[in-house]
């Protein structure tokens, strides 16, 4: 859910490309989630306010819990959280978790999460990379779109294919064991 929320922020900021990287490093006991976008970016004062749960740029709700919850979830596992952003250039959010920490929440259904983001944002390009102890899997929707030609990426059969491709790729690299 955190990844969905952060990418929603990216799409609202006008991102055309969102890169999501998940790194599982059991040897160094780290799970890292990094989300980078090419959206409008944030001014330094907004970056500071972004971690306040009572601040949001959304007009519908008066609270913005995505970044504060992700930051808290990382920090309670002896991890860390950073936001880097530059107005007009985009934003990078990095959350490091203690991989084996008892309070680390499970990563969740990444195939379903990615399928939801792609289906809901067909004009946005996504690059999803998952590294697991030196093995990697990558899905780049720009490459998928080239292969599809006239078939829309949000077609239900394409989304199902993407979900299965991610699930198989993650299984091959031993992610989430």
* 18, β-bridge pairs: 37, 126
pLDDT confidence of 54, banded at 50, 70, 90? low
Question: Six-digit token pair at 81?
Answer: 């959280």
pLDDT confidence of 61, banded at 50, 70, 90? very low
pLDDT of residue 66: 79
Inform me whether the pLDDT recorded for 169 exceeds 50.
yes
**CA distances from residue 165 to 42, 139, 168 in whole angstroms, order as listed:** 34, 9, 5
* Dist CA 158 CA 133 (whole Å): 29
Give the model confidence (pLDDT) of 15-51 as tens digits.
999 999 999 999 999 999 999 999 999 988 888 777 7
Number of independent structural domains in the chain: 1
Residue 102 lies in domain? 2-173
Give the model confidence (pLDDT) of 116-168 as tens digits.
999 999 999 999 999 999 999 999 999 999 999 889 999 999 999 999 999 99
B/e letters for 37-47, b = 16+ CB within 10 Å, e = fewer, are bbbbbbeeeeb
Whose structure tokens read 């929603």? 8
pTM of the full predicted structure? 0.91
CATH number of the domain bearing residue 20: 3.30.565.10
């Amino acid at each position: 859910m955190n990844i969905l929320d952060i990418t929603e922020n990216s799409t609202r900021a006008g991102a055309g490309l969102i890169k999501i990287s998940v790194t599982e490093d059991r040897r160094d006991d780290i799970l890292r989630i990094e989300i980078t976008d090419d959206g409008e970016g944030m001014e330094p004062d907004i970056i500071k306010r972004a971690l306040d749960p009572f601040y949001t740029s959304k007009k519908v709700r008066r609270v913005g819990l995505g970044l504060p919850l992700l930051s808290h979830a990382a920090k309670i596992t002896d991890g860390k959280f950073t936001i880097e952003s530059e107005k007009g250039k985009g934003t990078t959010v990095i959350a490091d978790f203690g991989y084996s920490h008892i309070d680390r929440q499970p990563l969740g259904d990444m195939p379903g999460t990615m399928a939801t983001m792609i289906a809901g944002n067909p004009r946005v390009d996504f690059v999803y990379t998952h590294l697991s102890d030196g093995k990697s899997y990558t899905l780049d929707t720009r490459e998928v779109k080239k292969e599809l030609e006239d078939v829309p990426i949000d077609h239900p059969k394409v989304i199902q294919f993407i979900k299965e491709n991610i699930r198989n790729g993650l299984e091959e690299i031993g992610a989430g064991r």
